[in-house]
Structures are given as structure tokens and as C-alpha cells.
Chains A and B, each alone.
Chain A
């Protein structure tokens, strides 16, 4: 089926060229990082994880969000999603590739990467994260490819795929749960030390992932002869709405516990994010923007009249996607380190090379997604013809 990926018009090849260009630039900056060390990033002794690990956290969410189309179709027999489950599965694959590359570019000694396997330590959450991320990637590859091939041949997918599909559902939940466990099990980091971190991650995942899927569906409808479907998009919109409500609710719970209990350790990081601390507050405007975007998105998503309008829905999805990205991709990780364990404030902002490397990583994800979606659309168009 891969042949569909090399049959495209000028626009398609132009897009591929743009992505390859970005990958090239990102790789150039990565070579610099390999030579100098992570010192070319904004990371420091105090803020030891930053932009890269935040992208892992965010994109794990997008990957897990794919399960929101898989579950209704395979578990609840919601037939309409049959058209787009493959889009969710392939989105998960591309997102997972972004996740894993984000971890690799974050390593100080990437050539020792396989020490994680050679000297595996089951007490480390990173070990489990490696297992679930790779497992989920593998499952989606096998499932997606087989289901698509069956669709092309006009047959039912092989029976042995069914248990894998069921297995992929808990795996989707687990990738984001284990990723939350990386942070929320650490004794000295009060910002993350909350049992609601994993549920909050899942809620934002089930909002941001499907939001991206809605946007991708609208793009696919524009650039190809395959229409993911109005009903499908509207059902996704409802899922997004509920998930976003849950996400904001969980965040509210967090705020209540921190500020009603009045325990400084719990309030400090939230204060740093939203009002700044000791005169430091680079993230303050970002965080308020994030909150405003998510609340506005919710205001647009709740009334049926705006939600049913696909243009408005698209705007809401963009706002939600960006809002959740700021929240998780910028605020959540670095704020856990500010103030530091000795209550000193050393701020973090990603540097230009760091951003370029990240863009390169995202471009690789986009390239994988483009190819997989091109194949999917090719099959769908062929089957219809």
C-alpha cells in the first residue's frame, strides 16, 4: 500500500519538501547540541527538564487521544467511527514517534540509550514508560496496517487482530498514566505530587487528541476526495467538550486543594505560574493565555449552535489545542522545578536551538503522519471508486 505515498501532486511533494527542510535544519541544530552538550538549551541545574520532556508529555496525550475513536467503534459498536478509526490510530503512531524522539534529544548521552534495556531497572518509572510507549506504537502499527489492508481488499481484518485492538485500549490509558507517574511519584516536587495528575493528563489528552483529529479531518476533506464525515466530526466535538470540562474541573480541584489548605509548598508553583514569584514570572502571560483559550474554547463548544458550525468548531479546536499545549508543553514541566528544592527561583525559557530541534522532531512526526494519511486516503478513494 506504500505506493500511494509516492503518488502525489505538486502540492503534496511541496509539503514533503518543506517538512524535509525543517527536519534538516532541526538535525543541524541537534548536531550542535551533540557536540556542545545540552548547554545550548535553556536547561539548568535547577530546571533540569524543559521543552523536550514537555513535548513528550503533550504528545503522549495526543497519542492517547486516538483511543477516543477506537473505543466507541470497537467496544460500543458505534459504526460511524469506522470511517476514521484508522486516522486515530495513525495519528497515535506519529505522536508516539514525536514522543520518543523528544526523549532521545533530551538525553545527555544518547549513544548510551540502550543502557535502559541492558541494565533495566523495574523500580524506575522510565522503564515502564519505555514499555508502554513502544507497546502502544507497535499495537497501532500492526492494527492500523492490517485493518487498512483488509479494507483495501474488501475483506474483514484477520481474527488475530481483534485481541490486539482490545489490548490497545488499556495501553492508550496506560501511556498517559505512566507518563504522569514519572512526575507525580517524586517526593520533593509538590506541584506534581498529586493523585489527580494522571486523571488530569488523561482529560487533557482526550480533549487535545480528538481536537487535532477534527482539524486533520477538516483538512483531509479539503485536500482529498475522502470525507471523514460530518457526523463523525460532530461526535468528536462532543467528546472534546466533555473532556475539556473534565480537564478544567480537575484543574479547579487542584487550585482548591492548594489554596484552601493554604499549604505554601502546594501554592508556590501555581503562584509562580499565574502571578510570578520574587519578581520572576516569564510564564505568567502564557498561562493566562492558556486558561483564556481553554475557557473560550469551552464557551464555543458547549452551545450546540456554535458546535454544529464546523468553522466555529475548527476555531475552538485550534484554541483548545494551543491552550492545552501551553498548559502542558510549557507550564507543567518547568514550573515543577520553580522554585527549586532550596526555594530559589531560577527561571527557564527554551532557547532558539532548543526550539529548532523541537520543530525538527515535530516535522518528523508530521512527515510520518503525512505518509500514513496519504496511504489511508489512497485506499479510501480506491475502495470508493
Chain B
């Protein structure tokens, strides 16, 4: 008994010495000339905002345009095409990955059902994607800060930190998140080397093309939409997007939940 206690004290003492030396060691390491904190500089052309947002003018969209938009987004971001031909119909539905996709009015706006909806709106295709909420429930749910909100309002993910618990998917009221139930790489037709591919077991979703904004380019969906999608800073009253919002009546998906979606729809 006495022996083991002495042993313990010895080990504890050594550890204490080690710990007290730690600051000195790190001080020496810091003075090594590399600078204290890593610093990310903004590119000269980078587009910046306080809260990025989108206005989707649904009157200007049709199936072909939407197909081009979805393709542009998915190609840019190496979103796999886990199609029915390759894995069978049932598996394709379960394993699907999508960042932006087409749906109907009643699916996009489940809380605004109209019994006697106009035929034209019922037929009209609607684009849905991550809403980059002002108060994102997915960020609140994430246990590792793998999903976080940037100062410019973009809700973004660190694919390398995600543990794949899928709490964010349960938290998202818009179904905007996908989970890699299998290795996605064999399902990417052409890999875009400018953007990372993902591994199995992590969640992914729209990132508002943060990587394109950083080099002065608009989001891929905006570029492919030929004017049907407007992007800009929602907090800047002089921005184009605010001008559009002043001129048109818009609605947001499930705004009553208080998440503050930053994607607006002109109906």
C-alpha cells in the first residue's frame, strides 16, 4: 500500500513538473518565427456581406433551367449521382445526396397549403436548398461545431470534423442535409479538383459557394440561373437583393418556426 502510494506521488510529481514547463516550451515554440496564430487573408476580389441571401424568382424558372442549375451546383461541388441504374431504385432513394433540387409548391411550402391553388403555380417547379438561416437549428444541434455560421451568414460545414451523428439532419426543418451512407467517390462523374470530395459517414449540404465568393465569383446556381436567382447582402439596405425585396412580395419556407431563412421566393 505504502509503496504504491509513493509510486503514485512520484508519477504525479513528474507530471506536475512537466505541466509547469509546458508554457515555457510553447513560448519557445511560438518564438520560432512562424507567428502566433494562423491568419486567413481575404482575397483581393472576395465578395463579402453580413448576411448572404438569395431571392428566387420562381416565375422565371422552368424544368430545363432548374436542371441546368442543379447540375452546375452538383458538378462544382462533387455531389455524387447515386442513380437507380447503378444501385437500384430503392437504394438510390435512400442513399441520395443533393444540395439543391426541384420540388412542388406544396412540398416546399408545407405550412401554406392552398386548397384551391392556381393551376399554374401547382405545375410550376420550385427550387429548394439550404436556407442559411439566421438562427440555424443545425448549428445549435451539432456537438462538434462541424457545422457553424460564418460572420457573413453562411452556414457551412467542416467535413473533416463531422462525426456523422446526424443530429443536424434531425434539426433541419427543410430536409436540406444529406448523409454519405456510402463512399460517394465512385459516383462522381468528373471530379472538380478545386473542391474537396467527401468520405463516407459525413453529412453535407449547400455552402452558398463560399469557395467561389472568396475569389469574387457568384454562387454557381446564381450564375446558371440567367437572372432568375439574385444573391446579395440582406443586411445592406442598398444592395440589389434588398431592392428586389422592396419591389416584390416574397415568402420564405416555414418562416413561422423562427429560423430566419435567408432564401426568399417570388411567387
Interface residues, chain A, CB within 8 Å of chain B? Answer: 36-39, 41-46, 48-49, 103, 106-110, 112-113, 115-116, 118-121, 123-127, 130, 182-183, 186-189, 265, 336-337, 340-344, 346
Contact status B175-A106, CB under 8 Å: no
Could you list 6 examples of A-B contacts with CB < 8 Å?
A43-B179, A44-B95, A109-B202, A115-B143, A118-B144, A187-B173
Question: Interface residues of B: mostly helix, strand, loop or mixed?
Answer: loop
A278 to chain B, nearest CB (A): 13
Contact status A115-B163, CB under 8 Å: yes
Contact status A186-B182, CB under 8 Å: no
- 6 additional A-B pairs beyond A45-B96, A112-B164, beta carbons within 8 Å, are A44-B94, A107-B164, A119-B146, A124-B140, A126-B165, A188-B254
- Tell me the bound Cα distance from A115 to B257 in angstroms: 30
Leading 5 A-B pairs by shortest Cβ distance: A108-B164, A188-B173, A108-B201, A44-B94, A37-B200
Contact of B175 among A115, A130, A340 (CB under 8 A): A340
Residues of A contacting B110 in the complex (Cβ-Cβ under 8 angstroms): 265, 341-343
Contact of A341 among B91, B93, B139, B174 (CB under 8 A): B174
B221 to chain A, nearest CB (A): 19
Contact status A37-B201, CB under 8 Å: yes
A49 to chain B, nearest CB (A): 6
Stretch at the interface among B4-12, B53-61, B100-108: B100-108
Closest to B139 in A: A123
Interface size bracket, B side: 35 or more
Centre residue among A44, A106, A125, A336 by max chain B CB count within 10 A: A44
Contact of A126 among B93, B141, B162, B200 (CB under 8 A): B141
- Tell me the bound Cα distance from A124 to B170 in angstroms: 13
Q: Is B207 an interface residue (CB 8 A)?
A: no
B90 to chain A, nearest CB (A): 9
- Tell me the bound Cα distance from A36 to B186 in angstroms: 13
Residues of A contacting B89 in the complex (Cβ-Cβ under 8 angstroms): none
Residues of A contacting B107 in the complex (Cβ-Cβ under 8 angstroms): 342-344
Contact status B257-A188, CB under 8 Å: yes
B185 to chain A, nearest CB (A): 12
Closest to A188 in B: B173
Contact status A124-B167, CB under 8 Å: yes
Residues of A contacting B163 in the complex (Cβ-Cβ under 8 angstroms): 107-110, 112-113, 115-116
Contact status B128-A342, CB under 8 Å: yes
Q: Is B235 an interface residue (CB 8 A)?
A: no
- Tell me the bound Cα distance from A125 to B165 in angstroms: 12
Contact status A346-B94, CB under 8 Å: yes
- Tell me the bound Cα distance from A118 to B182 in angstroms: 26
Given A43-B94, A343-B110: A37 in contact with B180 (beta carbons within 8 A): yes
Contact status B175-A46, CB under 8 Å: yes
Contact status A188-B137, CB under 8 Å: yes
- Tell me the bound Cα distance from A11 to B183 in angstroms: 45
Contact status A115-B254, CB under 8 Å: no
Residues of B contacting A336 in the complex (Cβ-Cβ under 8 angstroms): 170
Contact status B145-A119, CB under 8 Å: yes
Closest to A112 in B: B163
Centre residue among B98, B141, B257 by max chain A CB count within 10 A: B141
Closest to A189 in B: B170
Interface string of B178-221 (1 = CB under 8 A from A): 11111100000000000000011111000000000000000000
- Tell me the bound Cα distance from A45 to B110 in angstroms: 19
Contact status A121-B180, CB under 8 Å: no
Contact of B166 among A108, A124, A341 (CB under 8 A): A108
Interface string of B9-31 (1 = CB under 8 A from A): 00000000000000000000000
